Amino acid sequence: MTGPQRIDLNFQDVPGVIAAHVLDTGDGLAVVDVGPGSTLPALEAGLSDLGASLSDVRHVLLTHIHLDHAGATGTILDRVPKARAYVHERGAAHLSRPERLLASARQIYGDQMERLWGEMRPIDPDRLKVLEGGEALRIGQAEVRPLYTPGHAVHHLAYHVGDDLFVGDVGGVRLDPRQTPRAPTPPPDINLPAWRESIAALRDVDARTLYLAHFGSHPQEAAHWDRLLEMLEQDADRVRAGLDTGEPLEGLTERFTAELLDELREEAPELPERYEFACPPWMSVQGLVRYWQRAAARGTEPRSQG
């Protein structure tokens, strides 16, 4: 195994939506974002294709604790006693006691929770390596630098390993090289100033390749970050404009979705359907509405800089 290997988790039997990335550290395998419990069989099959198995995993590097990135972690650690998980300090408690996280998700997904996400087991705190961001980690032969990168989630990390930069969701959703990267903005933690600062930090990291959970690898270049920032500001402005005019949430969501999908269709005809599956636009609207409403309640109402 040379360099990071991508495993397509085939979420709900749809390829190219959620990826896990595997590294050989010399001290077992590290997996960046293992995906939800529902895709654990696909992760195992992908490891088998690489000539490995789940028992070879020693390190689970989590960019954040959302179900599509971290849901399978507890099950993996139960099955692999020598493995441990790495997580930001603001997300660690939710992995040990996931009840609140699951209750919040259940409000959104209802009786679809099990089908979509599968089981999320609690993790013994002693099995967690709790990170602040900025540490220098030695994992086997790999030098790993976790970077605190909030904006999408208050507990978000990116991982810099040599020429490779694993950016979770703060690096956007980009399902195809032709697609402009878009910012996934679900509730509850969207923070536009923090996201801008994370983009500014990540664009300066000395790496050659970006690895996105949604989806795959792309060059580390200014164009990726410039376009992601442009789309973040555009989406935030679209939602803000609707709120300013008193547009009902249903109408705002329909307009936002139609405009986004039209833009994606111009880039590649097959993108809208996949994108809706990977990053439902209605969730992005909800996150931005919450952000602007909280900003208004604080009396700050920071406007985007697009």
pLDDT for the residue 290: 96
114 vs 129: CA distance, rounded Å = 28
pLDDT for the residue 167: 98
Q: Can you tell me whether residue 157 is helix, strand or coil?
A: strand
Which pTM does this prediction carry? Answer: 0.95
- Altogether, the residues listed in the chain come to a count of 306
- State the amino acid at position 277 in one-letter form: F
Whether 303 shows a pLDDT value over 60: the answer reads: no
- For 206, residues 6+ apart whose C-beta sits below 8 A from its C-beta are none
Whether 92 shows a pLDDT value over 90: the answer reads: yes
Mean pLDDT value of segment 9-23: 96
Whether 299 shows a pLDDT value over 90: the answer reads: no
Domain locations in the chain? 5-224, 229-298
Q: Are 42 and 9 in contact (CB under 8 A)?
A: yes
Q: Is 302 left (phi over 0), alpha (psi -120 to 50) or beta?
A: beta
Identify the burial level of 167 via C-beta atoms within 10 angstroms of its C-beta, where 0-12 means exposed, 13-18 middle and 19 or more buried. Answer: buried
Q: What is the mean pLDDT of the chain?
A: 95
pLDDT band at 302, cuts 50/70/90?
low
Q: Are 268 and 179 in contact (CB under 8 A)?
A: yes
Tens digits of per-residue pLDDT, 243-269? 999 999 999 999 999 999 999 999 999
pLDDT for the residue 107: 83
Tens digits of per-residue pLDDT, 143-168? 999 999 999 999 999 999 999 999 99
Topology of the domain covering 5-224: Metallo-beta-lactamase; Chain A (3.60.15)
Beta bridge partner(s), residue 270: none
The single-letter DSSP state of residue 8 is E
pLDDT for the residue 2: 66
pLDDT band at 298, cuts 50/70/90?
confident
Tens digits of per-residue pLDDT, 97-151? 999 899 988 888 888 898 999 999 999 999 999 999 999 999 999 999 999 999 9
Tens digits of per-residue pLDDT, 57-68? 999 999 999 999
pLDDT band at 304, cuts 50/70/90?
very low
Q: What percent of the chain has pLDDT over 70?
A: 97
Whether 1 shows a pLDDT value over 80: the answer reads: no
84 vs 70: CA distance, rounded Å = 13
pLDDT band at 305, cuts 50/70/90?
very low
- State the amino acid at position 91 in one-letter form: G
Tens digits of per-residue pLDDT, 178-237? 999 999 999 999 999 999 999 999 999 999 999 999 999 999 999 999 999 999 999 999
Mean pLDDT value of segment 28-35: 98
- State the amino acid at position 181 in one-letter form: P
pLDDT for the residue 11: 95
